[in-house]
Structure 1
């Protein structure tokens, strides 16, 4: 497998080919493991099914509590099992993004992430969230205080919490740095503001109420009527007026100042410190910068580019997340394309500011039985392709690679291009794939296009086919060529 680095807004390999990654999240959120084994059975069958569907990346998640159950003592037996997974992935040509996951800060706060010893809540006792898990962010004083203490590098046994976290990451990076399957290091999932995040939520609620009552774009009585009528409520009609523009205006008004302060004063110094710790032991692996939790809602991310020792890191990317309100509910088929468009258009602006490649770290989710929600997924994949973004879908479930979701996710795309991409995309309605790139005839490796089933026609290139799995999928391999190449494939 080729080492992956970044070059301006692209991921490239050691041959200089531009690379695109389509993948899935697999995350072990447990507090601990009695047998020191990874939660999910990632084996040859799973990886074979995955690669046959054209998926070439796993965002492989674990938690701080799993790795450092006691201060300064690392669970190397558990990391050995993760290394075994890396080995299996390499055998199937699947890259791994190592994700340090958290939700609600820690298991003691009814989430996942930090070990108990690093969960300092002061006078606040954690309470289990009701209705939705994220309520622990909105008004969970213990979760908020735990984050405040973390961002302030509160000392435990004479050492700051962030210092422990950075040392833990340095230990992990040294262990996995030379593995051929390594894509990069995702240092902290969806960082949360702490107590300012709770203040933001309160302001968001009051701003939303004011918008519903006063904004001329909102027909208040219709919204209330849609909510009170059971059929229209079940069809989520009351949210149809909350368009992408309305969402953007409400969330920015409520949260922009809070998020900007956090991004610049807390998150940026944190990610620079952890990045520096990693770079002390290896220059390998793409360093990943996420947006904070609240920037999943159209609030701009203000975090500067990652710096190591005061200089811009050469090998980093931006991995935004984004979901509609309806994700993981029976009403997911009513998810708004306009709202998620607004969320990801804000992420486009962040990419423009950072001038770095994007890999969408989390998106998607599930909508229960049936396929009525798949057009929403199709909309998002098309958006990502327009911007030449790869992704990791949230989240792996049993038999996922044989589910209806694969009708959308398993699709033709350029895995590797000997040159630079101009554009690519697949129209599922017409079953037509188009790719344009500027070829580098001196490239020492071919371009590779994944096709999910046998093609009817291939135009614009000379190629060979390499079968992938046993379902008719293949890699369409194009020898290095100079100049503009326009490929059209029909199915």
Structure 2
């Protein structure tokens, strides 16, 4: 990117979503649909306590999708992701993408980085940003490397000492493949690799190289350090009730090492960290506090019972609540926000509905897995993960899984000038409710008429909607894809109800503009 584009500022507003109106209209089944037009958060994003915040101190909540390409060239544009896809995501109300960045593509040879690959990733970040969507760069791995039926690490970074390489598929190799377990052990011990340099040191240097490139790229909302880390040969200790203190200390040291390396070139982009993937289903973590003030807990929710049967299981309601409980405790320990950065990988609507309702109840943002399928490391079959079946075709008609979008594309408060108190959506009744205190998180106040935004996907309200706002003025036009509210002077709280049809009313009105 030319120097004049990269610059030093990170405070632009997300531009108006330049959705391709025809594509978006067909995608949501409404011939008269207009592209989204909200300004979104003011960048850069930061955090305060459990909340992600924008540069104005407003709370930012995300509903997003995962887009990770696990086969060469490991970049979305290589599989057909383009303007129509970004427009489609914006029209469906999504404001973030967890975007895969694959280590083997970043550093195909030790110490040699492929900047042409990173330029491709940057073009996708720019494309999404133009449509009001922020990107979390995700160093994604599953089972280390292709030789273990996985992906992520370069061949030279998979050191297994010639162990027995048994193939049982994903995720079974994590339990049954001795060579894979040794490769994990080599990585967690920072074993010396090519040139006598530790594997984690190479990994941290690769992250530093990526952060140096993206630190001034508008639209980058975070760095997810490693996807679903697995503890290696001692994994059974991490499944047991007493936890795995030594292994968690090892993961903590890795997180510290990579974070420090990133911070040498980028002091402010939030760092997203993950516990071992056992956290996402069966066991808590004993990791010490991260100690990084600009961080986000990135956790996943995949119920073991449904992972085994690949079908809905009512026992998973309790299991998922336990995962969210763990995330809340960990969020409080580190004084950082938590985001559900993966869930889904299924066509079962009851499973998806359970998770998004629980996330609303806990006021947690999320990113669904996944935008499209063709995933070599998954238990789901075929395109069971997808909301779009084929990237090489426009996201319209029978290429879109509309029944899943009916569950996932739902109203939510994406920017809040205040401290959220709760929100919910009754899909059968098409009724959304939200409320917040007008006090700024962490203390202080907003000026009168501070703006908040609620994403209202037209898929849920194809004939328009009515609004009843207490403590705020309704600013956006009728039927807008983003409901904009302005806090009334002196209001201590705001509550809003959105229903199918009817008038829109607020407690005040914006003052008339001063004469020219």
Could you say which TM-score interval applies, normalised by the shorter chain?
Answer: 0.7 to 0.9
Give the aligned partner of residue 247 of structure 2: 262
Task: Tell me, yes or no, if the aligned pair for 1:451 and 1:474 is still in contact at 8 Å.
Answer: yes
Give the aligned partner of residue 101 of structure 1: 140
Q: Secondary structure at the match of 1:73?
A: coil
Give the aligned partner of residue 217 of structure 1: none
- Distance in 2, matches of 1:184 and 1:444, equals 29
Task: Tell me, yes or no, if the aligned pair for 1:178 and 1:284 is still in contact at 8 Å.
Answer: no
CA change 1:279–1:287 in 2 (3 A) is: same
Give the aligned partner of residue 374 of structure 1: 349
- 1:140 paired residue among 177, 188, 199: 177
Deviation at 1:124, TM superposition (A): 0.4
1:193 matched to 2:265? The reply is: no
Give the aligned partner of residue 107 of structure 2: 68
| More helix, by proportion | 1
Deviation at 1:168, TM superposition (A): 0.2
Deviation at 1:480, TM superposition (A): 3.7
CA change 1:331–1:187 in 2 (3 A) is: closer
Superposition map of 1:164-183 within 5 A = 164-183=202-221
Task: Tell me, yes or no, if the aligned pair for 1:329 and 1:366 is still in contact at 8 Å.
Answer: no
Deviation at 1:402, TM superposition (A): 4.8
- Bigger shift: residues 293-302 or 86-95: 293-302
Q: Render the CA deviation track for 1:257-280: whole Å, top value 9, x for unaligned.
A: 32x32112x110101110011110
- Distance in 1, matches of 2:344 and 2:132, equals 24
Give the aligned partner of residue 92 of structure 1: 131
Q: Render the CA deviation track for 1:438-478: whole Å, top value 9, x for unaligned.
A: 124417851111112221343323212268xxxx6611111
Give the aligned partner of residue 418 of structure 1: 417
After TM superposition, the score normalised by the length of structure 1 is 0.81
- Distance in 2, matches of 1:87 and 1:329, equals 39
Deviation at 1:173, TM superposition (A): 0.4
- Distance in 1, matches of 2:272 and 2:231, equals 18
- 1:458 paired residue among 463, 468, 474: 468
Task: Tell me, yes or no, if the aligned pair for 1:52 and 1:473 is still in contact at 8 Å.
Answer: no
Task: Tell me, yes or no, if the aligned pair for 1:37 and 1:78 is still in contact at 8 Å.
Answer: no
Give the aligned partner of residue 390 of structure 1: 365
- Distance in 2, matches of 1:331 and 1:262, equals 30
Deviation at 1:324, TM superposition (A): 1.9
Q: Render the CA deviation track for 1:127-152: whole Å, top value 9, x for unaligned.
A: 322xx411110021111101111111
CA change 1:443–1:68 in 2 (3 A) is: farther
Deviation at 1:362, TM superposition (A): 0.8
- Distance in 1, matches of 2:243 and 2:307, equals 30
CA change 1:473–1:46 in 2 (3 A) is: farther
Superposition map of 1:282-293 within 5 A = 282-293=266-277
Superposition map of 1:272-287 within 5 A = 272-287=256-271
Deviation at 1:487, TM superposition (A): 1.1
Q: Secondary structure at the match of 2:98?
A: strand
- 1:353 paired residue among 333, 337, 341: 333
Give the aligned partner of residue 404 of structure 1: 403
- Distance in 1, matches of 2:118 and 2:145, equals 20
- Distance in 2, matches of 1:418 and 1:444, equals 9
Deviation at 1:399, TM superposition (A): 5.2
CA change 1:29–1:341 in 2 (3 A) is: same
CA change 1:479–1:296 in 2 (3 A) is: same
- Distance in 1, matches of 2:308 and 2:208, equals 38
Give the aligned partner of residue 292 of structure 2: 313
- Distance in 1, matches of 2:82 and 2:152, equals 25
1:160 matched to 2:198? The reply is: yes
- Distance in 2, matches of 1:444 and 1:5, equals 22
- Bigger shift: residues 316-325 or 86-95: 316-325
- Distance in 1, matches of 2:97 and 2:450, equals 24
After TM superposition, the score normalised by the length of structure 2 is 0.77
- Distance in 1, matches of 2:310 and 2:105, equals 35
Deviation at 1:76, TM superposition (A): 0.8
Task: Tell me, yes or no, if the aligned pair for 1:18 and 1:418 is still in contact at 8 Å.
Answer: yes
CA change 1:443–1:142 in 2 (3 A) is: farther
- Distance in 2, matches of 1:6 and 1:102, equals 26
CA change 1:457–1:8 in 2 (3 A) is: closer
- Distance in 2, matches of 1:362 and 1:323, equals 8
Task: Tell me, yes or no, if the aligned pair for 2:64 and 2:367 is still in contact at 8 Å.
Answer: yes
Structure 1 stretches of 5 or more lacking a match? 202-250, 307-311, 368-372
Give the aligned partner of residue 159 of structure 2: 120
CA change 1:443–1:268 in 2 (3 A) is: farther
- Distance in 1, matches of 2:258 and 2:449, equals 35
Give the aligned partner of residue 50 of structure 2: 9
- Bigger shift: residues 154-163 or 457-466: 457-466
Alignment size in residue pairs: 419
Task: Tell me, yes or no, if the aligned pair for 1:184 and 1:288 is still in contact at 8 Å.
Answer: yes
Task: Tell me, yes or no, if the aligned pair for 1:101 and 1:113 is still in contact at 8 Å.
Answer: yes
